Amino acid sequence: MQHTSEADQDEQATRPFEGLVVVELGHSVAAPFAGQIFGELGATVIKVEKHDGDAARAWGPPFQEGAATLFQTLNRNKQSVVCDLRDPAQTDALKRLIAERADVVLQNLRPGQVETLGLDGAALLALRPSLIYCNMGAFGRTGPLRHRPGYDPLMQAFGGIMSTTGEAGRPSVRVGASIVDMGTGMWAVIGVLAALWQRQAGGQGRVVDVSLFETAATWVSLIASQVLASGEAPPRYGSGTASIVPYKGYATSDGEIVVAAGNDGLFRSLARVVGHPEWAEDPRFADNPSRVRHQAELYGMLDAIFALRPTAFWLEQLEAAGLPCSPVNDMNQMLAHPQTEALGLVQRVPGTAMDFIGLPLSFDGHRPRPRSRPPALGEHTETLLRQPATMTPTTEIQE
């Protein structure tokens, strides 16, 4: 009798989608990130690229092992096939692959392209009725802008994120991380998983739609709710926020620190730490609505006080008082922090010298790990497109 080692069991526990086949008709960030999530969780992910590859392969420097680091970090655990979608024979081969093997198709090609090529959801579900097909567009399925392309900075601008980011009186700024692209990848996975769950009951596939604009609008939904209630567009608050005071970052004598005193009890503690317990009895600061109205005075005093001492001093004092606070880490500080190490967030890709941040979830205490390096361009074309597919079609998530 063959026994499975504890390590093998742990590895299997982090691969709930083993046996699932995902075809990624994607490029740049959103679809590749969605594909990578599935791949990291055990699915077979087949990435379809044009003859000169995903444009992200050239998004450098830096470059690692033949491609830009930005590409490598989004495309591990995948197979790459090159397919000229203008060539009917190659497109037919791709359709056969999808019809015979695919459970999921992710696509973020130029608006209207998949319909022209017969690779849209309706066409492919006619070939494989159990298929889950996910459109990852720019502006969504309907509306006057549905045919326009989009990229993360454009959607941070159009979706209102940039209008809320930055400091009052200064130009809007983009959030440095690709939150709209990567958020859309996450929503694609959520939508596909919901459709797969329903498919288990009835066996029927469906089309899922997500978009960059809808993701951007969702990220500002808390702010939007206030605007919908008041009709007033908020100004920019830098590291702070509109409705909670004091709740922002401060320059110290040697760096920066963020303090989140989000209720009256925490404000009283903060007032004691900075040497002004009388602030808690000041009518201007007695409760949060009052502090919001008088935030200019309060922040002016706090800014001056925090600037007198180094970050380490304030962290010690604030933490001792039970106040939520954090230094403003740069990327090297975050990556080298003992908490990052303890969680095992930074992972080495097998067979490479590349380290990347893994998925932000664990199963029974075990984080999914990369299984294979990012593929070379077209590395699996001959195997997957030039020969008839021989695997039995997968119709449900395997147990």
Question: Could you say which of 181, 254, 264, 330 is catalytic?
Answer: 181
Q: Is 120 marked active-site?
A: no
Q: Look at residues 329, 328, 357 and name the one whose alpha carbon lies nearest to residue 343.
A: 357
CATH of domain 6-220+342-384: 3.40.50.10540
> pLDDT tens, 80-121?
999 999 999 999 999 999 999 999 999 999 999 999 999 999
Question: What is the structure's pLDDT at 7?
Answer: 56
234: pLDDT confidence band, cut at 50, 70 and 90?
Answer: confident
Tokens of 156: 């941070």
Q: What is the mean pLDDT of residues 268-297?
A: 97
Q: Judge whether 6-220+342-384 and 256-327 match in fold.
A: no
Average pLDDT in the 41-47 region? 97
As a whole number, the mean pLDDT across the chain is: 93
At 394 the pLDDT is 38
pLDDT for 233: 87
Instruction: Domain ranges for the chain, please list them.
Output: 6-220+342-384, 256-327
- Provide the H-helix boundaries in the chain: 6-13, 30-40, 69-72, 88-101, 113-117, 121-127, 152-158, 179-202, 212-219, 221-230, 264-273, 288-293, 295-306, 311-320, 331-336, 338-343, 381-384
Architecture (CATH level 2) of domain 256-327: 2-Layer Sandwich (3.30)
Of the chain, the percentage scoring pLDDT greater than 90 comes to 89
- pLDDT for 255 beyond 50: yes
Residues ≥6 apart with Cβ < 8 Å to 245: 288, 291, 292, 295, 298, 299
Each residue's pLDDT tens digit, 139-148: 999 999 999 9
Q: Does pLDDT of 213 surpass 50? A: yes
Residue 392's pLDDT band (boundaries 50, 70, 90)? very low
Burial of 384 from C-beta contacts in 10 A (0-12 / 13-18 / 19+): buried
DSSP letters spanning 3-17: ---HHHHHHHHT-TT
Q: What is the pTM of this model?
A: 0.89
Read off the pLDDT band of 13 (50, 70, 90). confident
